Amino acid sequence: MSLRSVKMSARRGRATLAPAFRAWLVENLLRGADEAAIRAALAERGVPAATIAGALARARGSAELAGARAVAAGLRREALVNRLRRTLRAAAPQIERRPAPSPSEFLRNYWATGTPVILNDVVPRWPAFSRWSPADLRARFGAAEIEMSIGRAGDDDPDVRFKQHVRRTTLGDYVDRVLAAGETNDLYLIANNRNLARPGLAGLLADIVLPAGYFDEARSASCGALWFGPAGTVTSLHHDTSNILFFQVVGRKRFRLYAPDEPQLLAAARGVYSTLDPEAAGSALAECGLDLVLLPGEALFLPVGWWHHVRALDVSISVAFNNFVWPNQFEWFKPGAPG
pLDDT in tens, 99-135: 999 999 999 999 999 999 999 999 999 999 999 999 9
| 182 in any annotated domain | yes
| 301 in any annotated domain | yes
Phi/psi of residue 25, each to 5°?
A: -60, -50
Task: Quote the domain boundaries for residue 187.
Answer: 96-321
298: left (phi over 0), alpha (psi -120 to 50) or beta: beta
What is the C-alpha to C-alpha distance for residues 189 and 233, in angstroms, rounded to an integer? 10
- DSSP conformation class of 304: T
| 267 in any annotated domain | yes
| 89 in any annotated domain | no
What residue type is assigned to position 250 of the chain?
V
| 11 in any annotated domain | no
pLDDT, residue 1, reads: 45
What is the C-alpha to C-alpha distance for residues 158 and 137, in angstroms, rounded to an integer? 25
What is the C-alpha to C-alpha distance for residues 210 and 319, in angstroms, rounded to an integer? 11
- The vertex-151 CA angle with 149 and 152, nearest 5°, equals 75
pTM of the full structure: 0.82
Number of domains comprising the chain: 1
What stretches in the chain show pLDDT beneath 70? 1-15, 91, 339
pLDDT, residue 66, reads: 86
| 254 in any annotated domain | yes
- Beta strands, E only, the chain: 97-98, 117-119, 145-150, 166-170, 187-188, 224-229, 234-238, 244-250, 253-258, 269-270, 273-274, 290-294, 299-302, 307-312, 316-321
CB–CB of 30/69 below 8 Å?
yes
What is the CATH classification number for the domain harbouring 170? 2.60.120.650
User: Per residue in 311-339, is it b (16+ CB within 10 Å) or e — as a string?
Assistant: bbbebbbbbbbbbbeeebeeeeeeebeee
pLDDT, residue 4, reads: 58
pLDDT, residue 173, reads: 98
Burial of 114 (C-beta count, 10 Å sphere; 0-12/13-18/19+): middle
| 235 in any annotated domain | yes
Q: Where are the alpha helices (DSSP H) in 61-131?
A: 63-89, 103-106, 127-131
Q: Give the SS3 label for residue 247.
A: strand
| 306 in any annotated domain | yes
pLDDT, residue 2, reads: 54
